[in-house]
Amino acid sequence: MGIISRAFQGRPRDHDEKLPPGQYLVHDFPVLSAGPTPRVPLDRWEFAIDTPEGEVHRWSWEEFQALPQETPTVDLHCVTKWSKFGTEWKGVSLDVLMEDVESAAEYALAYSYGGYTTNLPLEDLLDGKAWIVHEFDGEELAPAHGGPARLLVPHLYLWKSAKWVKGIRLLNDDWPGFWETAGYHNYGDPWREQRYQGD
Amino acid sequence: MDQLDYQDGNALAGPLSEIFTLDVTTAHGTCAGCGRRGVLAELRVYGPEPGLVARCPGCEEVVLTLVRGPKDAWLDLRGSVSLRIPIAE
Ligand SMILES: [Zn+2]
């Protein structure tokens, strides 16, 4: 057992450096659910960004698909302690979606079809750190994993990457979301192991 | 039809017994979302990870959540108007 598993681990030191504290590596893609999986027909799908100044920007599925697409390959870290390396996605950078949005807001609340919400500082969505993705591993994103489209913010625990995302509300004040009001950490940095309130 | 991706509210009995000395799955509650009355055992329970999420069978709104960390448990009764808990005399 010892010899075989060591051979298959490849270069453990590389893995150790990519694995945040308290995490273990998985090769499947676990699905955690806090409610029924929403089914959103693409002709009714819409994504919106609104600001406290009263601006609203909306994209239909066709408009969203016509935006410049990126193919990020990122590591995922779930607060339930599994991490998955090298996941391949396709979607639109928040930098593109935010290009024409004028606001002094410093906070963001992502909200989803089905009612889920999660909050994060606006700066964590910008500068190449976040995407709205609609393909995983070369295929359209399955509803169980958040399709038609989900937020992807890989530098924070995965609960921040809202499945079935419907929009992002920019806010002048922080507004804790679903898990953030239920005991989980307000920010959720895996490298600082910010799992629960008070961590 | 989707297969059921939730359990009934009896799944709350073990985790809540860590907090309450009484079995609260038999408590009567009123959903803040739709006003439906029922016992907690009738709720639809998702999870257990990252936390237990109990939803109303009438309107699917969240009635309560229970997050268990290593040192603390967080019980959030956000969608419950009140709970009537039977107490043995
Ligand atoms: Zn209800």
Contacts of A44 (CB under 8 A, 6+ apart): none
Write out chain B residues lying below 8 Å of A37, CB-based: 2, 5
Paired sense of beta strands A46-50 and A165-171, if any? parallel
Range 57-86 of B in CB contact (< 8 A) with A: 60-62, 65, 67, 69-70, 72-74, 76, 78
Tokens of A186: 């307000």
Question: What's the gap in Å between A35 CA and the centre of ligand 1?
Answer: 14
Hey, what's the torsion of the CAs at A148, A72, A24, A190, to 10 degrees?
Answer: -90
| CATH class in words for A44-192 | alpha beta
**Domains of chain B by residue range:** 3-83
Kindly report, residue by residue over B55-72, the tens digit of the pLDDT. Answer: 999 999 999 999 999 999
**Domains of chain A by residue range:** 44-192
Kindly report, residue by residue over A37-47, the tens digit of the pLDDT. Answer: 999 999 999 99
B35: left (phi over 0), alpha (psi -120 to 50) or beta: left
| Predicted local distance difference test score (pLDDT) of residue B4 | 78
CB contact at 8 A, B65 and A35 = no
The yes-or-no verdict on residue B3 having pLDDT over 70 is no
Kindly report, residue by residue over B16-45, the tens digit of the pLDDT. Answer: 999 988 899 999 999 999 999 999 999 999
The yes-or-no verdict on residue A186 having pLDDT over 80 is yes
The yes-or-no verdict on residue B1 having pLDDT over 70 is no
What is the C-alpha to C-alpha distance for residues A69 and A91, in angstroms, rounded to an integer?
Answer: 5
Of A9 and A176, more confident: A176
Write out chain A residues lying below 8 Å of B60, CB-based: 35-36
Phi, psi of A158 (to 5 degrees): -65, -20
Kindly report, residue by residue over A115-147, the tens digit of the pLDDT. Answer: 999 999 999 999 999 999 999 999 999 999 999
The yes-or-no verdict on residue B88 having pLDDT over 90 is no
